[in-house]
Structure 1
Amino acid sequence: MRQLMASNPDAIVGGGLGDRAPWYLHGAALALLGVVLAIAFLPTYQAIVGIWSRSETFAHGFLIVPIVLFLVYRLRHPLADQQPRVQPLALVPVAGLVLLWVLGALVDVDSVRHFAAVLLIPAVVWLSLGNAVAWTLLFPLAYLISAVPFGEFLVPPLMDWTADFTVWAVQQTGVPVYREGLNFELPTGRWSVVEACSGVRYLIATVALGTLYAYLVYRSWMRRLVFVAFSFLVPILANGLRAYAIVMIGHLSGMELAAGVDHLIYGWVFFGAVIALMFWIGTYWREDRPISEGAAPGPGGGGMAERLSDSTGLGSRSVAAVAGVALTGGVLVASGPLYAGWMNQRDLGPVAGLEEAELPLNDWEAIEADPWEPGYRNARAAFHRHYVDGQGVPVGVYVGYYREQFRHGNMITWDNTMAGRDRDAWRQRSAGRAEIDDWTRPARFELTGPNRQILAWRWYWVTDRLTTSPHEVKARESLSRLLGGRDDAALVVLYALYPDDPEEVEPALRRFAEAALPELLGTLEEVRGR
């Protein structure tokens, strides 16, 4: 017995300190990295919680952390069979996520920062506790993604779907309906599909609940994936039925019911009943017992004896090894916010030389005309002129220049559209891409406003090239800033008013673009260099 204890001092009789010592050591490393992570990314986590508190769509985020802690508690017995060990390979995803956060911070993309900061939590757990523990905690760690406030980009398509389905269902009922965009009129009254009618809050909450339900009720991954897909489709259909039911209740009651506060009450009651029915149906395929009691715990793991013996060597318990990995991880985690903060302190100066610029164009003469501006805010400087050639069709050109967008406002945002979010009198319709030789084909928009119809072509200019992709703009801006450069970008819009058919002014826009774009791009390059 003395010889055994001398050769293996961790082997305390009864499995006390010897079994728990690695957990103390690795737990301390995890706690240290957790503190560094919380301090370094505190503003990002605060921003996430702030969205939970002010948005009903993401209010379920307050429940995610308690649910994750409960799921970890449920796994306490499988975790007791594991022995933690550091996983240096996890430094790669940690570094990648920190870099991703920096890219998002440099171009002010909230969703990128939020996802990176939340995903760093499971990455740090994997780094500190190793493969076997991370695999055992796979679902609880992955479920943290549900805390990220993401999905508002689904609002416009879901609003269109809700309007399409409601109008179609009302017509199938035999009630005449006239539709104009997201507004439609029945003989008894007018209805409008607004953002609250999109059903995005139902969808996001149901997917989060459905994913948790699938994990707790089923054991096979196929059944889990099928139910998650089911929980994605059901709320979309249910929201369409909800909107149809509300419209019909209002119509049949002569707009006495479902037109005020009870509009929302009926919606929530109906939606709750549908989701309860979905979960009840899901119980018919429930699996109460694991598929195999002896199933392997995941990559790098086997039976309990193998897992215990896998971490009994000195290397896995070495204080120096654990401290080295934890220190490296802490430096990586802290470096991202420090670098982004340093970059954002730079003053790149004002934008000069654009507003007073002139375009020397043959066959085109500058004229005075009633100005129209796209609904893009926060430009540091703007160039706005009108020209006409011998054909007699006036063409407008608008250039909005952006610099230090992290401080003054971004060009690519949810609020920046051709019509503008706050312009109730204007309607915007995306009309594909325009045809033009030797240039990137611009995005084409048809805009309708008070006594005016406009055909507009739109490009984005970034790192000395034209593009129509907002994602490419953000990618190029972030890469430029990451390497110490600027985030200069510009909105380039050509437009013309048309009386009846937008095709009438398309040739004039094409002629002007071919004549003006070379001069315009040269001007932008000069402004960028100042």
Structure 2
Amino acid sequence: MAAEWPQPRPISMSLGPGWPRALAAMGVALLTLLIAFQGTFASMVAIWDRSETFTHGYLILPIVLFLVFRLRHELARLQPQPCLLALIPLGLLTVAWVMGELVDVISVRQFAAVLMVPALTWLILGTQITRRLQFPLAYLLFAVPFGEFMVEPMMIWTADFTVGAIRLTGVPVYRDGLFFELPTGRWSVVAACSGVRYLIASLALGTLFAHLMYRSWKRRLLFVAIAILVPIVANWLRAYGIVMIGHLSDMRLAAGVDHLIYGWIFFGVVIFLMFLIGAFWREDHLPPKPRPAAAASVPPSGSRMATTTLLALLLVASGPLYAGWMNQRDLGEVEGLGSGPLLPEGWQAAEETAAPPPWTPGYLNARASRNGLATQEGEDQAVGLHIGYYRAQFRHGNMVGWANTLAGRHRDDWQQRGGGRVAVPGVDRRGDRVLLSGGDGDERELIAWRWYWVDGRLTTSGHEVKAREALNRLLGGRDDAALVVIYAERGDDPAQAEAAMEAYAQAAMPQLLSLLEEVTRR
């Protein structure tokens, strides 16, 4: 008598009566979002394409679709119920995108556009379904190419660890900023050595691993924390190992492209071990925690779904339309800034024969500028003033941005050697203090104090500048802002130079602020 094995039952998934309308509405809303913000999404893809740090962006959407597919049976048992409360976050995200567009902050635009996907999901499909989809929707944020602000601090941390470890090894090393020299050769920590690409890749993979492998939130958060810490430490060990390989091989190994190859191999091994160890505490074999049964609900009517979809489309499309209309406005020319140094009482223009040639900061795109050197009566120390005035930055270029630094990214004759903060009596905001060296032909050293002026206020925060510019433009105003730099030759007596700068700042700042207010009103 032959045994009869039970036949597997076919897997079926029957959708509730409200799903066809909901899926159609969701498709229309997402298509509208893609068309309305195509420039923003295209900018994300362009960064994925040109930057190895964010190449993982191509994988995020397939991963999200896979995560949603895993939930298909659970979702099919739920009934879509539009939630008009979601119009609030959707409206706020639209405003955020408009502000980012008006002052050209690409990361704000990208985050706002991506976050509109969860907002639309909540609006059209409802709270219960959005709660089930919270992780896939949150994982979409890894598609935003964000994190380059960490490059500089991580370069410094890597240099600190590498030099410290080399000294503990007993090898003599001389350090100058991000450059350091061993008896066998000279090294530097560049952007590719910062470890940011390792950190972002590890965080994206580690977050996915924690979600799939663990059920406990404690284990998930712990593994994500490890996924952040491990690549940072691994990058430090990688940098130290590469330098030591180069040193011990008399610079025959790890001194060229091969040290990047060693770095990726080392990183791959470390991440593999991290996942292997993390798998010992895996909980994916456990059944998921039971969820409370969804309350029975009546499918939304066709008119309600159509009304909700129409509101979503109008709100999504309003952002690009308003920003485009605002960017067509003519904000006028900049007039009345003047030329030469400001000369408060007791100060005079420096004689050209006695003063060094004027220096200008490496800031581009100013609509008007004023630059000159002044000396206090009876003194020889020349103090320079530079004012760069910006207006209609969406059209002519931004004051605050990666390209603009005091040394100037577009030129290589000046280098920034240090920084800090400076407090000037009588000036309500501290300034940024920067040391610069370079110049044409002979080496010069400058001390520069920098402020930004916006909305009648001095600040050193680029974020504050952008926020005030965005709010002004959102309400129909202008984005006027100015760069203010006071500088002097460092010379043999830096204390004397900074004392002269302080005296000039105290005397000239009231006149300078009044001048900027007058220019704004024209």
TM-score range normalised by the length of the shorter chain: over 0.9
CA distance in 2, matches of 1:469, 1:385: 25
For the structure 1 residues 291 and 18, does the alpha-carbon distance in structure 2 shift closer, same or farther, using more than 3 Å as the test? closer
Task: For residue 506 of structure 2, give the secondary structure of its aligned residue in structure 1.
Answer: helix
**Paired residues for 1:506-517 under 5 Å:** 506-517=498-509
8 A Cα contact 2:212 2:284, kept in partner? no
Answer yes or no: is 1:404 the counterpart of 2:400: no
TM-score, normalised via structure 1 length: 0.92
Deviation for aligned residue 1:176? 1.0
Select which of 224, 239, 255 maps to 1:259: 255
CA distance in 2, matches of 1:293, 1:516: 68
8 A Cα contact 1:419 1:428, kept in partner? no
Deviations 1:358-393 (A, max 9, x none): 735211001233111112111111100110012322
Aligned partner of 2:461: which letter?
S
Deviation for aligned residue 1:185? 0.9
Deviations 1:244-302 (A, max 9, x none): 111111111111111122111111111111111111110111112446542x3xxxxx3
Deviation for aligned residue 1:18? 9.2
1:428 alignment counterpart:
417
1:202 alignment counterpart:
198
Aligned partner of 1:409: which letter?
G
CA distance in 2, matches of 1:19, 1:266: 51
For the structure 1 residues 257 and 346, does the alpha-carbon distance in structure 2 shift closer, same or farther, using more than 3 Å as the test? same
**Paired residues for 1:38-187 under 5 Å:** 38-187=34-183
TM-score, normalised via structure 2 length: 0.93
Aligned partner of 1:398: which letter?
H
Deviation for aligned residue 1:441? 2.1
CA distance in 1, matches of 2:156, 2:13: 62
CA distance in 1, matches of 2:493, 2:60: 52
Deviations 1:313-347 (A, max 9, x none): xxx51112111111111111110110001111112
Deviation for aligned residue 1:428? 3.4
Instruction: Judge which range, 439-448 or 278-287, deviates more.
Output: 439-448
Aligned partner of 1:54: which letter?
R
8 A Cα contact 1:434 1:457, kept in partner? no
Aligned partner of 1:208: which letter?
A
Answer yes or no: is 1:326 the counterpart of 2:309: yes
Instruction: Judge which range, 451-460 or 219-228, deviates more.
Output: 451-460
1:6 alignment counterpart:
none
CA distance in 2, matches of 1:56, 1:358: 46
2:438 alignment counterpart:
449
8 A Cα contact 1:351 1:403, kept in partner? yes
For the structure 1 residues 225 and 49, does the alpha-carbon distance in structure 2 shift closer, same or farther, using more than 3 Å as the test? same
8 A Cα contact 2:341 2:385, kept in partner? no
Deviation for aligned residue 1:355? 4.0
CA distance in 1, matches of 2:249, 2:339: 62
Task: For residue 79 of structure 2, give the secondary structure of its aligned residue in structure 1.
Answer: coil
Deviation for aligned residue 1:424? 5.5
CA distance in 1, matches of 2:287, 2:182: 55
8 A Cα contact 1:380 1:401, kept in partner? yes
Task: For residue 437 of structure 1, give the secondary structure of its aligned residue in structure 2.
Answer: coil
Deviation for aligned residue 1:502? 2.9
CA distance in 2, matches of 1:89, 1:379: 44
Aligned partner of 1:415: which letter?
A
Answer yes or no: is 1:527 the counterpart of 2:519: yes
CA distance in 1, matches of 2:54, 2:133: 24
For the structure 1 residues 232 and 527, does the alpha-carbon distance in structure 2 shift closer, same or farther, using more than 3 Å as the test? same
CA distance in 2, matches of 1:456, 1:122: 46
8 A Cα contact 2:199 2:231, kept in partner? yes
CA distance in 1, matches of 2:347, 2:325: 46
**Paired residues for 1:293-372 under 5 Å:** 293-294=289-290, 296=291, 302-303=292-293, 306-307=294-295, 309=296, 311-312=297-298, 316-356=299-339, 359-367=342-350, 368=352, 369=355, 370-372=357-359
CA distance in 2, matches of 1:161, 1:19: 53
Deviations 1:154-193 (A, max 9, x none): 0100111111111111111111111111111111111111
For the structure 1 residues 468 and 23, does the alpha-carbon distance in structure 2 shift closer, same or farther, using more than 3 Å as the test? same
CA distance in 2, matches of 1:319, 1:216: 37
1:385 alignment counterpart:
372
Aligned partner of 1:411: which letter?
M
For the structure 1 residues 478 and 426, does the alpha-carbon distance in structure 2 shift closer, same or farther, using more than 3 Å as the test? same
8 A Cα contact 1:418 1:428, kept in partner? no
Aligned partner of 2:454: which letter?
V
Task: For residue 450 of structure 2, give the secondary structure of its aligned residue in structure 1.
Answer: strand
**Paired residues for 1:211-290 under 5 Å:** 211-290=207-286
Aligned length: 502
Structure 1 segments (4+ residues) deviating >6 Å: none
CA distance in 2, matches of 1:360, 1:162: 46
CA distance in 1, matches of 2:25, 2:494: 65
Task: For residue 66 of structure 1, give the secondary structure of its aligned residue in structure 2.
Answer: helix
2:451 alignment counterpart:
459
Answer yes or no: is 1:481 the counterpart of 2:473: yes
1:299 alignment counterpart:
none
Task: For residue 259 of structure 1, give the secondary structure of its aligned residue in structure 2.
Answer: coil
For the structure 1 residues 158 and 17, does the alpha-carbon distance in structure 2 shift closer, same or farther, using more than 3 Å as the test? closer
Deviation for aligned residue 1:522? 1.8
Task: For residue 382 of structure 1, give the secondary structure of its aligned residue in structure 2.
Answer: strand
8 A Cα contact 1:354 1:383, kept in partner? yes
For the structure 1 residues 410 and 438, does the alpha-carbon distance in structure 2 shift closer, same or farther, using more than 3 Å as the test? closer
CA distance in 2, matches of 1:251, 1:60: 34
For the structure 1 residues 227 and 49, does the alpha-carbon distance in structure 2 shift closer, same or farther, using more than 3 Å as the test? same
State the Cα RMSD in Å: 1.7
Aligned partner of 2:57: which letter?
G
Deviation for aligned residue 1:516? 1.0
CA distance in 1, matches of 2:343, 2:494: 27
CA distance in 1, matches of 2:471, 2:368: 23
8 A Cα contact 2:390 2:482, kept in partner? yes
Deviations 1:102-157 (A, max 9, x none): 11111100110010001101111111101111111110010000000000000100
Structure 1 alignment gaps of length 5 or more: 1-15, 297-301
